[in-house]
Amino acid sequence: MTPCLDDRFKPAIKQFGKAISGAQPFSENARLSCATTTNKNLGMAVSAIYIKEHFHESAKTEIGDIVKSMIEAFRQNLDNTVWLDEETKLKAEEKINKTRFALGYPDFLLNKTALNEYYGDLVIESGKYFENILNVRKFQITKGFKKLNNDESIYEDDWFEPPTVVNAYFENDKNRILLPASFLQPPIYHKDFPNAIKYGAIGAFIGHEVTHGFDSNGRSFNKKGKFESWWTNSSLESFTEREQCFIDQYDQFSLYNESISGDISKGENIADNAGIQLAFKVYNQWLKTRTNIEKEAEMLPGLEFLSLTQLFFLSYAQSWCDYVRPEAAIAKSSDEHPPGSVRILGTLQNFDEFSKAFQCSENSKMNPSKRCKLW
């Protein structure tokens, strides 16, 4: 509720934000502030407008095909995973076969009557800003409790975040991948991007989300999204041994002398590593079916000196490119999501296809003798 306080508190809020992030607070005009607050509190209503203006329905078809390909690639990898015993492997296959996905937005957003019913219990009064914020909080909490008592099918199809939130999710309790419309935008995705760029970015992200169902946390949920111990002791020991490799590797990274926690970030790191390898596998399956002319059309003007494989890895790295100020490094060091630079280096160090593509010297930083692999 802090951002909802009046002008007397804004200097202190900005000062606190600068101390935490190191970024100079920008001067937010009233129009932008209003839009931000509206989106935060009435996200589904804003999303209904957003998707009509900025989301192409064709994206649903293409992204849906990519998700299905990633799920199938993970299923194929399971068949070849020698450290899983047959009992656990069967349970894992059952789970990946039941993995669902939701793309773009919930369908009710295009139905004005359904959207009005969604907000039917919310009271908004002109001239009562703070009271309206409280009403929204009450509305959201009440709706959450209603879901707990409602039909399970309604809960399973629900979106816990509006499509205007730029993120992607794996919902363990639903065994579902969620890819909102605002996430399926440049530079992560555009329908006209060459496939090397698409798979290096959105493909790796989708592979990441698929793998979350089988990472350090996701492995504890079954095919129905219920918390269950479905691993045999021997398979769990093998998982833990391979998981430790990632913990040890990422413990070696630091940002502005702030060490990254390989233990805290292990789930994300496991998903990153498997995600890019799934994307690479699916992209190469597509590439094998193309003619030389079609492959040439994939090249980017001005970057013809890069192979399609190199473009794939360049796209992956660009998708995580960011800048973290020294002040923010403290928070990042204990975040389950490591900094972008670490996500790039750690993942590519473990992937031999990267070192082949860029001819990295043996035992160099990007072509180490020891690599971590789980899925």
Residues serving a catalytic function are: 209, 272
Residues 229, 220: Cα–Cα separation, whole Å: 6
Residues 40, 137: Cα–Cα separation, whole Å: 11
Report the alpha-carbon angle 4-166-169, nearest 5: 110
DSSP per position, 209-268: HHHHTTSTTGGGB-TTS-B-----HHHHHHHHHHHHHHHHHHTT-EETTEE--TTTTHHH
Element housing 100 (H / E):
strand 100-104
CA distances from 3 to 10, 37, 43, 47, 140 (A): 8, 9, 17, 22, 18
94-128: buried (b, 16+ CB within 10 Å) or exposed (e) per residue? ebbeebebbbbbbebbeeeeebeebeeebeeeeee
Expressed in angstroms, the distance from the first to the final Cα of the chain is 42
Residues 319, 314: Cα–Cα separation, whole Å: 9
Among 166, 176, 206, 181, which residue's Cα sits nearest to residue 106? 181
Residues 49, 110: Cα–Cα separation, whole Å: 9
Those residues whose C-beta lies under 8 Å from the C-beta of residue 168, and which sit 6 or more positions away, are 177, 178, 179, 180, 183, 205, 206, 208, 209
User: Which residue carries 């790295």 as its tokens?
Assistant: 317
Q: What is the DSSP letter of 24?
A: P
